[in-house]
Amino acid sequence: MARARGSLRRRLLRAKLAAVIKYLVVVVVAVVPLFPIWSMIAWLLIQSFSGRVILGLIPSSLTINNWRFLWSPIKMGLKEYPNIWPITFNTLLLALGVSGLVVLVSTMSGYALSRMEFRGRTALMEFIIALHAFPSVILLIALFVILNKLGLYGKGYMTLLGIVLIKAGLEIPMASWIIKGFFDSIPWDLEWAALVDGCSRWRAWRSVIVPLVLPGIGAISIFSFLAGWSEFLLVFTYVKDEAYYTLPVLIYHMIGEFKFIDWGMLAALGLFFTIPTLIFFSTSQKLLLRIYVGGVKR
Amino acid sequence: MVKVTLDNVSKFFGKVRAVTDLNLEVGDGEFVALLGPSGCGKTTTLLMIAGIYRPSRGRILFDNEDVTGLPPKDRNVGMVFQSYALYPHMTVYDNIAFPLKLKKVPKQEIDRKVRKVAKLLRIDNLLARRPGQLSGGQQQRVALGRALAKEPDVLLLDEPLSNLDAKLRILMRAELKRLQKELRVTTVYVTHDQVEAMSMADRIAVMNAGKLQQYADPQGLYNKPANLFVAGFIGSPPMNFVEGSIREDLSGGYYFDAGAFKFKLPKELGELISSKSIDVVMGFRPEHVKLSLNREEYSIEGQVYVVEPLGRDIVVNVKVGDMLFKVVTKPGVELRPGQRIWLVLDVDKIHFFDKFNERAIV
């Protein structure tokens, strides 16, 4: 009896130990990858508010001098760049343009790919995904020719519009695929019910189907917003007038053109660059990631 | 309310013939059930009446008016889907109001109608909830409410009770029937459950493999099945079948020869059957057999195989040769497996079918 109880206690202890080890592993796996990312963001934050940084880590002398680009034009040596606000506006325009266009086109194309029977649908879907395999770098020259012919090169906002079209075109294939999956998960019964209840097909799409794929629309709008917001190559190549720069290109010029780099301001700019993204993320998450379940028995 | 007529309607999906040459008339205010095993084309038929599927051939008429090319929204039908298909992003109130909003009914009118229907179906306390917060039975009633609120000319029900538990199903069966009689709305009800069809419908259209087998009232289907399929599909436990041939003996009498047993037939019956076909299938319902411990006229000898007590009745499986027949009888008699027993058939309630075209002879 006594021996049996002893072994029971030992087994309990072992089980507890196993649980502790399991949790430790989980914590390590979950936290360690976050550590470098958070430490970098923390570094940005510290760097941007300090005048001097000792050993790249320990801040000294609190200052907001690094954030001076918020109220005055940026001077780099002899060159003076436009104020940050028009450039932020450009970036936002590009990102929202891409996001809006991608959502508009891919919700419709995704619906068609998911719901409509037509010849060559499978072939089309394979072709679409193959399109996504081309990086925009290899398209730069051809796209330049097209932009030029369309009269969209070197025309300020029209050039940005051209870039919106290109970037949206590159993002739409993947977005259509993603949203098609969401449409696929909506049973035909729901759409039929809407038709019987008195909807035209268009109305059924608008009033019943789209509200149910809002999470998918949320996902692709975030993805395409980020793609537009951080787009560098296309803007860098096609926009020559500094007034129509976007933030990534501006940041590049802070590093690229001079030997001397103002690390403090670069950190502040980097932090500034992430803020709208964070806002967009949190608001669209709240607004769009509403998932409704139930109402349809399977 | 309208009369619905299907005129030679067929529906093909590629090479698959879902429905073939279907002729059906549903009278004004009538409750008709489409009954058949799964994949027999009954839901396809319903979706054609709703206007979701367009028939490959044939016409659909509402009150003698051709609606074949009309989209669903212009037909004024209400439909309850097997899955209920409630809009998950809308509240119960909005679900029921949705068809009325599309009809551009004034807001106050919508409110009045929604509340009336909700009260009728006893879901008036659930109006603010979303479908995901309802039980199966509640969802089913909301779906019914949505179909009824628009005051449809035709009500289409696609297995509306199949997702409910057995007790609720029996309850809703009676409720639905009462509601249909009260509202006098022309109703087409799709089901694979013969008890549902028999207990609710005025007339039943039995379908199999895309073809209409028989269209009659419940008693007609039960008493005079048109063919082997209907005979086997209606009734529980199902009808007993045995293949054999009609023969004449030396004295001019007729008997049915099944190999394992011979069964004497009344002269007129034998003459009638043999004038149409020699190779036949005999069918008799388990409830139309009397068990006897002694040989009687019109009886078949067998052995008790197994006894299944069901409370009110018992089902006795009787082995004759290598065939098993089911017999429903009242409990009381002690029966042991292996015991010798005679099945006494009610001659007026025996069915004979042609073995080759499977049509009923008697």
Going by C-alpha positions, the residue among B88, B102, B94, B152 that lies closest to residue B118 is: B94
Which stretch of A169-183, A254-268, B224-238 has the lowest confidence by average pLDDT? Answer: A254-268
Residue A75, strand partner residues: A80
Going by the DSSP 8-state scheme, the letter that residue A164 receives in this structure is H
If residue A128 lies in a helix (H) or strand (E), which one and from where to where?
A: helix A121-131
* B81 contact A CB<8A: yes
What range does the domain containing A242 cover? 70-288
Residue B283, strand partner residues: B241, B351
Percent of chain B clearing pLDDT 70 (strictly above)? 100
Q: Which of residues B210, B233, B256 is at a domain's end?
A: B233
Say if residue A57's pLDDT is above 70.
no
* B56 contact A CB<8A: no
Going by C-alpha positions, the residue among B45, B49, B84 that lies closest to residue B70 is: B49
Which stretch of A249-253, B101-105, B176-180, B241-245 has the lowest confidence by average pLDDT? Answer: A249-253
In terms of domains, do A138 and A201 share one?
yes
In terms of domains, do B127 and B227 share one?
yes
In terms of domains, do B30 and B77 share one?
yes
What range does the domain containing B218 cover? 4-233
- Chain A residues at the B interface, defined by Cβ less than 8 Å, are 187, 189-190, 192-200, 203, 207-208, 211-212, 290, 292-298
In chain B, the residue whose alpha carbon lies closest to the alpha carbon of A203 is B102
Say if residue A2's pLDDT is above 60.
no
Strands (E), chain B: 4-13, 16-26, 31-35, 57-62, 65-66, 77-80, 154-158, 186-191, 203-208, 211-216, 240-248, 254-257, 262-265, 279-284, 289-292, 299-309, 314-320, 323-329, 340-345, 351-354
In terms of domains, do B52 and B30 share one?
yes
Is residue B359 one of the residues assigned to a domain?
no
Going by the DSSP 8-state scheme, the letter that residue B227 receives in this structure is B
The C-alpha atoms of residue B337 and residue B321 are separated, in whole angstroms, by 15
Strands B254-257 and B262-265: antiparallel
Say if residue A298's pLDDT is above 70.
no
In terms of domains, do B188 and B246 share one?
no
Is residue A62 one of the residues assigned to a domain?
yes
Distance from CA of B229 to the nearest CA of A (A): 30
The full length of chain B comes to 362
Strands (E), chain A: 50-54, 58-62, 74-76, 79-81
Domain count, chain B: 2
Surface of B (267-306) touching A: CB under 8 A? none
In terms of domains, do B46 and B139 share one?
yes
Say if residue B42's pLDDT is above 90.
yes
Quick check: B83 and A187 CB within 8 A?
Answer: yes
The C-alpha atoms of residue A261 and residue B127 are separated, in whole angstroms, by 64
The C-alpha atoms of residue B182 and residue A79 are separated, in whole angstroms, by 86
A254 vs B185: which has the higher pLDDT: B185
Q: Are B182 and B175 in contact (CB under 8 A)?
A: no
In terms of domains, do B51 and B156 share one?
yes
Q: Are B28 and B3 in contact (CB under 8 A)?
A: yes
Q: How many cross-chain Cβ pairs, A to B, lie less than 8 Å apart?
A: 96
In terms of domains, do A20 and A139 share one?
no
Which of A182, A201, A297 is the best substitution to test chain B (most B C-beta atoms within 10 A)? A297
CATH number at residue A193: 1.10.3720.10
ipTM: 0.85
Q: How far is CA B142 from CA A14, B163, B175, in A?
A: 54, 14, 14
> What are the two backbone dihedrals, phi and then psi, of residue B134, each rounded to the nearest 5 degrees?
-110, 155
| pLDDT tens column, A246-283 | 899 888 888 766 666 777 888 888 888 988 888 877 87
- To the nearest 10°, the Cα dihedral for B136, B140, B143, B147? 180
| pLDDT tens column, B18-30 | 999 999 999 999 9
In terms of domains, do A169 and A255 share one?
yes
In terms of domains, do B181 and B227 share one?
yes
Distance from CA of A178 to the nearest CA of B (A): 21
Strands B154-158 and B186-191: parallel
- Please report, as a single letter, which amino acid is at residue A151: G
Angle B42-50/A188-196 helices, nearest 10 degrees?
40
| pLDDT tens column, A91-130 | 999 999 999 999 999 999 999 999 988 888 889 888 888 8
- For chain B, the distance separating the N- and C-terminal CA atoms, rounded to the nearest angstrom, is 38
Instruction: Read off the pLDDT band of A54 (50, 70, 90).
Output: low
Q: Are A163 and A238 in contact (CB under 8 A)?
A: yes
Quick check: B73 and A200 CB within 8 A?
Answer: yes
Say if residue A295's pLDDT is above 80.
no
| pLDDT tens column, A15-26 | 999 999 999 999
The C-alpha atoms of residue B199 and residue B219 are separated, in whole angstroms, by 10
Q: Are B306 and B346 in contact (CB under 8 A)?
A: no
Is residue B89 one of the residues assigned to a domain?
yes
In terms of domains, do B229 and B294 share one?
no
The C-alpha atoms of residue B19 and residue B37 are separated, in whole angstroms, by 13
Angle A247-256/A263-288 helices, nearest 10 degrees?
160
In terms of domains, do B28 and B108 share one?
yes
In terms of domains, do A62 and A127 share one?
no
Domain count, chain A: 2
Quick check: B132 and A292 CB within 8 A?
Answer: yes
Mean pLDDT (chain B, rounded): 92
The C-alpha atoms of residue B99 and residue B103 are separated, in whole angstroms, by 6
Rg (CA), chain A: 26
pLDDT at A278: 81
Quick check: A292 and B130 CB within 8 A?
Answer: yes
Q: Are A50 and A60 in contact (CB under 8 A)?
A: yes
Quick check: A196 and B86 CB within 8 A?
Answer: no
Q: Which of residues B198, B233, B268 is at a domain's end?
A: B233
Is residue A294 one of the residues assigned to a domain?
no
Q: Which token pair is A54?
A: 């000792």
Which of A117, A186, A197, A287 is the best substitution to test chain B (most B C-beta atoms within 10 A)? A197
The C-alpha atoms of residue B80 and residue B88 are separated, in whole angstroms, by 15
Strands B351-354 and B314-320: unpaired
CATH number at residue B182: 3.40.50.300
Quick check: B79 and A196 CB within 8 A?
Answer: yes
* B259 contact A CB<8A: no
| pLDDT tens column, B72-127 | 999 999 999 999 999 999 999 999 999 999 999 999 999 999 999 999 888 999 99
The alpha-helical segments, DSSP class H, found in B124-186 are: 136-149, 166-183
In terms of domains, do A46 and A125 share one?
no
Is residue B173 one of the residues assigned to a domain?
yes
* B163 contact A CB<8A: yes
Cβ contacts (< 8 Å) between B134 and chain A: which residues? 294
* B54 contact A CB<8A: no
Q: Which of residues B212, B233, B254 is at a domain's end?
A: B233
Residue A42, strand partner residues: none
Distance from CA of B205 to the nearest CA of A (A): 23
| pLDDT tens column, A216-235 | 888 898 889 989 999 999 99
Is residue B67 one of the residues assigned to a domain?
yes
Give the one of B78, B84, B150 whose C-beta lies nearest to A295's C-beta.
B84
Q: Which token pair is B211?
A: 């073809």
Residue A245, judged by CB atoms within 10 A of its CB (0-12, 13-18, 19+), counts as buried
Distance from CA of A209 to the nearest CA of B (A): 9
pLDDT at A279: 83
Give the one of B71, B98, B131 whose C-beta lies nearest to A197's C-beta.
B98
* B86 contact A CB<8A: yes
Instruction: Read off the pLDDT band of A290 (50, 70, 90).
Output: low
